Amino acid sequence: MGLSARITAALIVGFARAVTAVRGEWRDIAPVPGQRIYFANHNSHGDFVLVWTVLPLALRSRARPVAGADYWLTSKLKSFIGKDVFNALLIDRNPETRTADPVAQMSTALTNGDSLILFPEGTRNTGQARLLSFKSGLFHLASKKPEIDMVPVWIENLNRVMPKGALVPIPLICTVTFGAPIRLEAGEDKADFLARAERALLTLAPDEKN
């Protein structure tokens, strides 16, 4: 990471902490060095920023957010932040235009030793449901990399800090909760695995939303 990217990263982390007072909670898992796939609920463009912010530096430096190229490549500033600051793995979400398979891209990143931050709902959840149904990519990635822990991550309150269409964030306390890791079990099919992954994530939600 170049100097300008490091300075920008520090500013983003400082701003995220100032606005959200974000804290990370680790349940049945410790923030120790190691390769992981973090999968989280998705309510805001800032979701991966909070996950990235609360990770210890040793983990943060290898954790690559998986994000839509159609959003992060629309301007020089976004491209700099996405590619240079966060080292995001940018995915073409349009099946008609993409030339690379997203699961293969993620698998290659994992093979190279990176960790990933991804959002299996596939798009931001702006409705009343706590989770949208998971896309199949999480299952296919688990099939390719069954030896890597998949860690559920629940992000709370960020959708209220920066609701859709808002230009100015509203200061509110946010939490990022990491839960017990899961792996694909022998003989487990796609439907069962995705249902189990959804349950693992929902168990981290605050009691009043369960």
For residue 184, give Cα distances in angstroms to 63, 117, 188: 21, 18, 7
β-sheet bridge partners, residue 16? none
The secondary element (H helix, E strand) that includes residue 153 is strand 149-156
From 112, 28, 9, 115, select the one nearest 63 (Cα to Cα). 115
CB neighbours (10 Å) of residue 136?
15
Q: pLDDT truncated to tens, each residue of the chain (210 aa)? A: 789 999 999 999 998 898 888 999 999 999 998 999 999 999 877 888 899 999 998 899 899 999 888 888 889 999 999 999 999 999 998 888 888 899 999 999 999 999 999 999 988 777 778 899 999 999 999 999 999 999 999 998 766 655 565 555 666 788 999 999 999 999 999 999 999 999 999 999 987 543
Residue 163's pLDDT is what?
54
Query: Phi and psi (nearest 5°) for 124?
Result: -65, 135
Global pTM reads 0.89
Domains of the chain as residue ranges with CATH? 3-209 (3.40.1130.10)
- Residue 164 has what pLDDT? 60
Are 200 and 152 spatial neighbours (Cβ–Cβ below 8 Å)? yes
Residue 64: predicted pLDDT: 95
pLDDT at 209: 43
The CA–CA distances, whole Å, from 39 to 1, 3, 60, 179 equal 24, 29, 15, 10
Task: Give the SS3 label for residue 158.
Answer: helix
E strand spans, 7-138: 23-26, 36-40, 63-68, 89-91, 115-118
How much of the chain is helix, strand and coil, in % rounded to 5?
A: 40, 15, 45
The kind and range of the H/E element at 140 are helix 137-144
Residues 6 or more apart whose Cβ sits within 8 Å of residue 119: 39, 40, 41, 42, 47, 48, 66
Please give the single-letter amino acid code of residue 11: L
Residue 37 and residue 179 in contact, taking contact as beta carbons nearer than 8 Å: no
